[in-house]
Chains A and B, each alone.
Chain A
Amino acid sequence: MPEVAVREITMAEAVREAISEEMRRDPSVFVMGEDVAEAGTPFKVLSGMVEEFGKSRVIDTPISEPGFTGIGVGAAMTGLRPVVDIMFGDFLTLVMDQLVNQAAKVHYMSGGAWKVPLVLRTTLGASRRSAAQHSQSLQAWLSHVPGLKVVLPSTPHDAKGLMKTAIRDDNPVIFFEDKMMFRLKGPVPAEDYTIPFGVADIKREGEDITLVATSSMVQVALGAATLLEEIGVSAEVVDPRTTWPLDEKTLIESAKKTSRAIVIDEGYERYGVTAEIASVIATGAFYDLDAPVKRIGAMHVPIPFSPPLEDATIPTEKSVFEAARAMCRK
């Protein structure tokens, strides 16, 4: 029998498909943000949605991130499920009060009386030559806040399943998409499926070293793993998929199995996602580790514009490969 071809779509298409399916299923779901309607966002992630759902559910806003994010919070509290679009992750700084002091705290402060089923989509990732205010990866800031959930899909398949979970979740969920991965293709089932939060995915099995990687760094880690294979090092690549809730068990078990771990995230290394995950592994797998857990994140500089400078600030296949080789003494 001929094998059924697995459908491949891009990351952008997977996100769009997830939101569209949820909007067909649930009339309380709507999209709101800058240039989300006819423009379909600058990255064209939402192209065609306004044609299907109309301008009452795919809503263009003024350039007022705190204003429309706040409206999202109020709408979520009163029976709707907004998907708020913040064009660049760097603009999260503008909406921090609405996310951190309002959305994240409403359920707790009210003793559970009100809930905020809000999804905030935004981007992360450098190397697009967009300089310091359009290139940051600020997932650590939001992972720090009780009351928020933080999602970092690394494949089209994960993006679709995780987005559906995010929309159905009764809490504020921050959904980071790597702007450099929107055109990445991968197999995505056409049918409805969800991926639970707090469940890491082993993207590649290995024996000698664990590479824990998030979002944009999963492809980097997989590339490094291929290079490592050539020198006889078997690397396991583990993708936590959500920084909160965090699947500590899978991370620790992998590190115990391989006895070595490197954590890679595109956010700033200092006080970042890598620090938290490294601490989880160092604590949980201490007696099985052959080396201190290593962290690789963005350099502690604002992201520069000039290509050779920018490329020096973020982890690469080569830097991960070199670090892993050194750790494995190869």
Chain B
Amino acid sequence: MTTESKAAVAGANVTAEKWLRMYRGMQMIRLFEEQVNELYTRAVMPGLAHLYIGEEAVAVGICDALNRDDYITSTHRGHGHCLAKGAAPDRMFAELLGKEAGYCRGKGGSMHIADPASGNLGANAIVGGSAGIATGAAFSAKYRGTKQVTVCFFGEGALGQGLLYETMNLARLWNLPVIYVCENNMYNEYTHFSETTAGEILARPAAFGIPAESVDGQDVRAVHATASRLVEAARAGKGPSFLLCNTYRYRGHHVGDVSRDYYRAKQEEQRWMTEKDPIRLHGEWLLKEKLATQAQLDEIQAKAKAEIDAAVDFALKAPYPAVGEVGEDVYA
């Protein structure tokens, strides 16, 4: 083989590895969330959780374009972002169950997982509440000259919050390396976004002079390609950008939201699940491009399942924090 064709093969291998990694990443999130639902249904998990099922391509496509020390802020529907940025499922499940081994020592729960080691500034249960933190992290990276990029994840419901527009204005004025990622899963809790959102979504960031574009959020490769370009631009000092990811939440607003007929039709859910499932679509593409065999995909899924099962097992067996810890960590 010539050097050139060797390089081409090596490049193809890297590409295959990358797309398989993202296939695995999406499977991990899907299986994780199915287990969360299971733990809720079995009344093992305290409280509620907001499942990311259906939206996996967004978190995976974007976080794969980031370095480990790049920052993200996340939302109440944050398990997917957290896993995709590199958190371990065992400590995540432990947090969901309120255990000492959890990322927040049981003090945060599903809506507040944070992990400095993977650059996760934390999930936030105030809709749009992390726009300040994300923009501040971008400000800090620029101030310190580190070249880190920050991704601010939020749902389309956050488009109703003023903080987002204040921080986008500041990010443009100060040319901060932040990417505002709007996950439009079409529902602000139980209300279709068309009832809450006037005008064109992309016109809003555009009004601040922030480059804005949309992408099919069910297509992990499209998400990744766009995100890579935006991350590159932010790192090169070109300032903020806005990425609208059109996606869909397969399940309810939270695990307890099981009767959804009053706000959306079952046929609509079915259509997304059968026609636009990000994992199935990506799997089919991997097979078609001969980047993987069905046996490989099955193996990836089986391994992911085993890891998730072990993580649940770890969390179930993990001890609760000692009650005396309740007063710790109020102050640093």
Contact = CB atoms under 8 A, between A and B. Distances in A.
Interface of A: 28, 30, 56, 61-62, 64, 66-80, 97-98, 101-102, 106-117, 146-147, 149, 170-171
A146 B143 contact: no
A79 B144 contact: yes
Contact of A74 (B105, B134, B166, B328): B134
Given A107-B332, A108-B329, 6 more contacts: A67-B167, A70-B132, A80-B144, A113-B103, A115-B332, A170-B331
A109 B108 contact: yes
A64 B129 contact: no
Given A110-B114, A112-B332, A72 B143 contact: no
Contacts, number: 146
Contacts of B41: none
9 contacts: A61-B170, A78-B140, A80-B143, A102-B133, A107-B330, A107-B332, A111-B102, A112-B332, A113-B114
B130 to A, nearest CB: 8
B141 to A, nearest CB: 7
A74 B112 contact: no
Contacts of B169: 62, 64, 67
Q: Select the residue from B103, B131, B329 with max chain A CB neighbours within 10 A.
A: B329
Contacts of A76: 136
Contacts of A78: 71, 121, 136-137, 140-141, 144
Contacts of A97: 126, 129, 163
Contacts of B319: none
Contact of B331 (A64, A98, A111, A147): A147
A116 B166 CA distance: 21
Contact of B329 (A69, A101, A107): A107
B121 A74 contact: yes
B140 A111 contact: no
A271 to B, nearest CB: 22
Contacts of B105: 111-112
A107 B103 CA distance: 12
Contact of A109 (B71, B114, B144, B170): B114
B136 A72 contact: yes
